[in-house]
DNA sequence: TGAAACTTTGCAGAAACTGCAAGCTGCTGG
DNA sequence: CCAGCAGCTTGCAGTTTCTGCAAAGTTTCA
């Protein structure tokens, strides 16, 4: 993403990477994860098998992709949100453009998420990548609050947010597409904000009732 | 764990599995993940390489282990807790014996968690296994509340709890060992219960002050 | 145009993993 | 007690993943 190099060389690289990802997703979607070899993916993308490994360390990496790893723009936005805004609200605000981008490429992401859902062993990789994101996230949260990166609050918030986003994405992908991703995300963040202690399974009430938000935030 | 088969045959299997796990952990702890081959692990455990794969599908599986997967006893305890107790409290109560067992085998778990910490690529597998647990957990939560297993509350709570436990474990392992696992877990659950909206960055109140491990309770 | 920098590719090889068939060992019924 | 069954272990052959290296091709820039 941070690549603005518009030279012919880098453009070609981006194309190749994209071709590999799409080829991998399509083949695995059709046949299942272990009915597809790297050789076939490479052939479908029009490069040599060896080249595949110049782009991705493993077969799974091409399927799972970067997700949010290295969303440095998101990090900047997060740190730019006014300090008085609570952490979770700030995160939701900062990540909205990222999620909008996902919503915009809905078909691609639904394919990707369907493949992930159909091949549980890929969840392994998805979550593994999340672990990397989690570190970054914890560091950002800590930096914004001026607390230690390994403090309980930073670590737990990062992990919880990561998990919440993942669940929201999967629910979005499992739905019929009429409900936008942002709705799932808002629901997820609301649950985290108000605490998971009280389920309101009947969808009724209370989420916003008492919570003393302190600031009619927006930004 | 649920194996009560005390026959000589099953005993031998448990020994073999344990020997493979310990051998794998020790070797990887010494040399690093990719400086250890399955052949070496098998040899250290005194079995043939082929046998290794009768117990574990992958090298990583031997290292990461079951964690909480198939903690069916925990599930029973959880469902047995009186309905009036909030979900998170019930979970904490139900899982306490599980965590006590971990605390009791502290050295083994610290080795395992250290290995996980030292080899980030293993986090991938750890989290992947968590995904399986998460399904089970969501189902149990839903069952207890009489709501759908794919409801937002069940899915998000399961994911958040899973993440919280993982972070608590890692923090416990990173510590100097004076603070018990239960303290980290109580802290984690408190964060989830009260909502992550309000950080107490200055360490001011509530959390660390007393937190005298109120784990007098029994399940 | 020509050299530097980078990318692609083939090749050789280590290691991970699987299916199969044979051998060994604990278990069970007569 | 001991056949015979069942389940575990093992060797072997084979596929696939993934890596290092060096040659060959392509883009960039002076």
Inform me whether the C-beta atom of residue A188 falls under 8 Å from chain B C-beta atoms. Answer: yes
Write down the pLDDT at residue A196.
86
Average pLDDT, stretch A32-52?
Answer: 95
Band the pLDDT of A70: cuts 50, 70, 90: low
The per-residue pLDDT for range B54-79, each reduced to its tens digit, is: 999 999 999 988 766 667 788 999 99
Residues from chain A contacting residue B160 (CB–CB below 8 Å): 160, 163-164, 191-192, 196
> Please, what is the average pLDDT of chain B?
84
A171/B152 CB distance under 8 A: yes
Those nucleotides of strand D lying less than 7 Å from any protein Cβ are: 7-12, 16-21, 27-29
Residues whose CB falls within 8 Å of the CB of residue A61, separated by 6 or more in sequence, listed in order? A125
Q: Which of A130, A187, A196 sits opposite B127 (nearest CB)?
A: A130
Residues from chain B contacting residue A144 (CB–CB below 8 Å): none
Cα of B191 to nearest chain A Cα, Å: 8
3-state secondary structure string across B97-139: HHHHHHHHCHHHHHHHHHHHHHCHHHHHHHHHHHHHHHHHHHH
Average pLDDT, stretch B3-9?
Answer: 63
Band the pLDDT of A69: cuts 50, 70, 90: low
Write down the pLDDT at residue B121.
80
Determine the Cα–Cα distance for residues A123 and B125; give it in Å rounded to an integer. 9
The per-residue pLDDT for range A108-120, each reduced to its tens digit, is: 899 998 898 888 7
The per-residue pLDDT for range B187-200, each reduced to its tens digit, is: 999 999 988 876 65
* Spatial CA neighbour of B25 closest among B2, B68, B1, B56: B56
Write down the pLDDT at residue A2.
39
Q: A137 by DSSP, 3-state: which? A: helix
The per-residue pLDDT for range B133-164, each reduced to its tens digit, is: 888 899 999 999 999 999 999 999 999 999 99
Write down the pLDDT at residue A219.
29
What is the distance in angstroms measured between the alpha-carbon CA of B60 and the sugar C1' of C18? 17
> Any atom of strand C under 7 A from CB of A48?
yes
The number of angstroms, rounded, from the C-alpha of A169 to the middle of its chain's C-alpha atoms is: 8
More reliable by pLDDT, B210 or B60:
B60
The per-residue pLDDT for range A83-92, each reduced to its tens digit, is: 999 999 999 9
Band the pLDDT of B184: cuts 50, 70, 90: very high
**Is the confidence at residue B214, as pLDDT, over 50?**
no
**Is the confidence at residue B2, as pLDDT, over 60?**
no
Determine the Cα–Cα distance for residues B28 and B218; give it in Å rounded to an integer. 37
A59, A120, A130, A163: best to mutate for the B interface, most B CBs within 10 A: A163
Inform me whether the C-beta atom of residue A175 falls under 8 Å from chain B C-beta atoms. Answer: no
Write down the pLDDT at residue B131.
76
Q: What percent of chain A has pLDDT over 90?
A: 58
Cβ count within 10 A of residue A49: 13
Residues from chain B contacting residue A195 (CB–CB below 8 Å): 192-195
Cβ count within 10 A of residue B115: 21
Question: Which nucleotide has its C1' atom closest to residue A36's CA?
Answer: D16
Inform me whether the C-beta atom of residue B193 falls under 8 Å from chain A C-beta atoms. Answer: yes
Inform me whether the C-beta atom of residue B164 falls under 8 Å from chain A C-beta atoms. Answer: yes
- Is the pTM higher than 0.85? The answer reads no
**Is the confidence at residue B111, as pLDDT, over 80?**
yes
Write down the pLDDT at residue A3.
41
Write down the pLDDT at residue A116.
86
Write down the pLDDT at residue A159.
94
**Is the confidence at residue A207, as pLDDT, over 70?**
no
Instruction: Give yes or no for a contact between A144 and A83, defined as CB atoms under 8 angstroms apart.
Output: yes
Helices B152-174, B120-145: crossing angle, 10 deg rounding? 140
Residues from chain A contacting residue B207 (CB–CB below 8 Å): 152
């Amino acid at each position: 993403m941070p690549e603005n190099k518009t030279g012919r060389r880098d453009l070609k690289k981006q194309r190749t990477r994209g071709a590999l990802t799409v080829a991998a997703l399509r083949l695995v979607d059709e046949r299942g994860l272990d009915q597809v070899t790297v050789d076939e993916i490479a052939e479908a993308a029009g490069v040599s098998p060896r080249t595949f490994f110049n782009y991705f360390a493993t077969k799974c990496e091409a399927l799972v992709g970067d997700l949010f790893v290295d969303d440095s723009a998101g990090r900047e936005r997060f740190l730019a949100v006014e300090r008085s805004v609570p952490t979770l609200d700030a995160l939701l605000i900062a990540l909205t453009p990222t999620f909008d981008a996902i919503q915009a490429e809905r078909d691609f992401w639904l394919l990707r998420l369907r493949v992930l859902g159909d091949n549980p062993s890929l969840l392994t990789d998805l979550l593994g990548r999340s672990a990397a994101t989690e570190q970054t996230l914890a560091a950002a949260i800590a930096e914004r609050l001026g607390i230690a990166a390994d403090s309980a609050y930073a670590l737990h918030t990062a992990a919880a947010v990561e998990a919440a986003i993942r669940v929201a994405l999967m629910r979005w992908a499992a739905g019929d597409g009429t409900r936008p991703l942002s709705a799932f995300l808002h629901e997820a963040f609301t649950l985290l904000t108000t605490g998971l202690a009280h389920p309101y399974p009947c969808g009724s009430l209370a989420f916003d009732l008492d919570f003393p938000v302190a600031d009619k935030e927006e930004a």
